[in-house]
Amino acid sequence: MTREQFRPDDHPNEQFILSTVVGSYPKPKWLDRVRERYEESDDFDDANWAEATDDASRLITHEHERAGLDAVVDGEMRRNEMVEYFAERIEGYEFNGPVKVWGHNYFDKPSVVEEVEYDDSWLVDEFAFTDDVATKPVKVPITGPYTLASWCFNESYDDDRALALDLADLVNEEIGKLVEAGARYIQIDEPALATTPDDHAIVGDCLDRIVAGLPDDVRIGLHVCYGDYSRIYPEILEFPIDEFDVELANGDYEQLDVFKEPEFDLDLALGVTDVHVAEVESVEAIEANIEKGLEIVPPERLTVSPDCGVKLLPREVAYGKMANMVEATRNVERKLDDGEIDARALREGATASADD
C-alpha cells in the first residue's frame, strides 16, 4: 500500500490518517526583498540567490515538521508561479509580458511557439535538497500537463489535447528522475480541470502517460480545486491515481454528496481548512471536517490537508492552520481507536442518505 510507507515509526495511534499540505506556503518577507535585489541589482548573483532560497526552503520544511505533518514540502520557496516556473524550464515556451487575470492580479502567461521538449530537470535539485534537510517524507507537487497546456497561448499545436499529451510525456520523464532521486509521493496539480471539466478524458489520457513505467511504491495524487465536481465524477475513478485531492472546506462541504454515489474507491485527500479565510479554525471545527471525510472513505484511505496552497495567507495563520489540523487529526485517530467515532457507521449513514 503506497500510503502506509508515510506512517511515522513513533505514531501514537493505531489508526493513521495521513496529514500533509497541498504545496505552496507564505514566503518569508525577507525572501521577497532578496528576490527584488536579485532581479534588479548586478551585485547580487546566482550564488547569492541560491543561498537565499536554500535558507528559505530549510526554514519552511522545518516549520512543516514542527507543525507535525506526516509528509512535507518546502512550501515551493524556489517557485514563482505554478505555470510560469515550469514554462521557463520547458523548450518551446516563450514569454511576452503579463496579462490581467482578475482584479489587480497579473499572470505572465506564456506562449507555446514550437514543439515542447525536455531540456534539463525541473525539480530534482529542489527535492534532493528538501529531502536532505527533512526528517519526514517529502511530497513533490508538480503542475500537470493539462493546466500547463490550458493556461498558455497555444501558437504551435493543432489543439490543446495534442499539446497536453506531449507535455505529459515530459512530466513522465521528470517524475522518473524524481523517483530515481528517492521521491515516493508525487502530486499532480490540475486546477484547470475544475474550470473546463468536460475535458476530463484528456486529463485521464495524460495521466496514463505520466504514470507509465513508475514503480508500484510511488504514490500519485491528483489535486483539483474550485469547480463543480459532479462534472468529473465518477469519471475520475478511472484515472490511474492513488489519491484524489479535493477542495471542499471553502464550500462548507456542499459537494460532499457528489462522492457518495457511486462508491468512491480511491484514497481521498480532503481539504479540512479553508485557505480563503485568514483565521485559524479551531481544533474542534477541523475534527468535524475530518469526520466528513470518513463519510466517504475509511481512515486508512483518508488524507487531510488545507483546501489548496496557503501562500496568500499570513504566515502565522498558515502555520496555525497546519498545527491545529495535525492536532485534530491525531484526536480523531484516538477517538477511532477508543470507539468514540464509528467510521463504518459514518459511511453507512452517508450511503443511506445518498440513496434517499
User: For the residues of 42-100, what is the DSSP string, one character each?
Assistant: TTS-HHHHHHHHHHHHHHHHHHHHHHT-SSB--TTTT-S-TTHHHHTTEEEEEE---EE
Dist CA 312 CA 150 (whole Å): 23
Query: Based on the structure, what is the number of domains in the chain?
Result: 1
* CA-based nearest residue to 271, from 323, 301, 307, 310: 307
Q: Is the pLDDT of residue 217 over 90?
A: yes
* Torsional class of 76: left (φ above 0), alpha (ψ -120 to 50), beta (otherwise): left
Q: Is the pLDDT of residue 55 over 70?
A: yes
- Report the predicted TM-score, pTM, of the whole model to 2 decimal places: 0.94
Residue 25 lies in a domain: no
Residue 309 lies in a domain: yes
CATH number (domain holding residue 174): 3.20.20.210
C-alpha cell at 325: 489540523
Percentage with pLDDT > 70 across the chain: 96
How confident is residue 248, by pLDDT bands cut at 50, 70 and 90? very high
Q: Is the pLDDT of residue 279 over 90?
A: yes
How confident is residue 146, by pLDDT bands cut at 50, 70 and 90? very high
Alpha carbon separation from 217 to 59, 162, 242 (Å, rounded): 29, 30, 10
Lowest mean pLDDT among 32-41, 103-112, 294-303: 103-112
Q: Which domain holds residue 168?
A: 2-7+69-353
| Average pLDDT value over all residues in the chain | 94
Give the number of other CB atoms < 10 A from CB of residue 13.
17
Q: What is the pLDDT of residue 172?
A: 98
Dist CA 347 CA 300 (whole Å): 13
Map grid coordinates 521538449 to a residue.
117
pLDDT in tens, 303-353: 999 999 999 999 999 999 999 999 999 999 999 999 999 999 998 886 656
C-alpha cell at 112: 507555446
How confident is residue 79, by pLDDT bands cut at 50, 70 and 90? very high
Residue 171 lies in a domain: yes
Residue 280 lies in a domain: yes
C-alpha cell at 219: 504514490
DSSP E strand boundaries for the chain: 18-19, 90-95, 99-102, 105-107, 110-118, 140-143, 153-154, 185-189, 219-224, 243-246, 267-273, 302-306
Dist CA 75 CA 275 (whole Å): 14
Map grid coordinates 535538497 to a residue.
129
Sign of the Cα torsion 82, 252, 248, 57 reads positive
Lowest mean pLDDT among 131-145, 225-239, 263-277: 225-239
Dist CA 149 CA 94 (whole Å): 13
Residue 131 lies in a domain: yes
* CA-based nearest residue to 19, from 302, 340, 289, 344: 302
Residues 255, 231: contact at Cβ < 8 Å? Answer: no
pLDDT in tens, 99-129: 766 666 777 889 999 999 999 999 999 999 9
Q: What is the pLDDT of residue 173?
A: 97
Residues 77, 23: contact at Cβ < 8 Å? Answer: no
Lowest mean pLDDT among 30-44, 90-104, 135-149, 151-165: 90-104
Residue 275 lies in a domain: yes
Residue 34 lies in a domain: no
How confident is residue 354, by pLDDT bands cut at 50, 70 and 90? low
Dist CA 12 CA 234 (whole Å): 35
Residues 243, 269: contact at Cβ < 8 Å? Answer: yes
Lowest mean pLDDT among 38-47, 283-292, 300-309, 325-334: 38-47
If you ran DSSP here, which 8-state letter would residue 239 be given?
S
**Strands 99-102 and 302-306: what pairing?**
unpaired
* CA-based nearest residue to 82, from 201, 209, 236, 188: 188
Residue 139 lies in a domain: yes
How confident is residue 194, by pLDDT bands cut at 50, 70 and 90? confident
Alpha carbon separation from 240 to 48, 175, 318 (Å, rounded): 41, 15, 31
What distance, in Å, lies between the first and last C-alpha atoms of the chain? 34
Q: Is the pLDDT of residue 1 over 70?
A: no
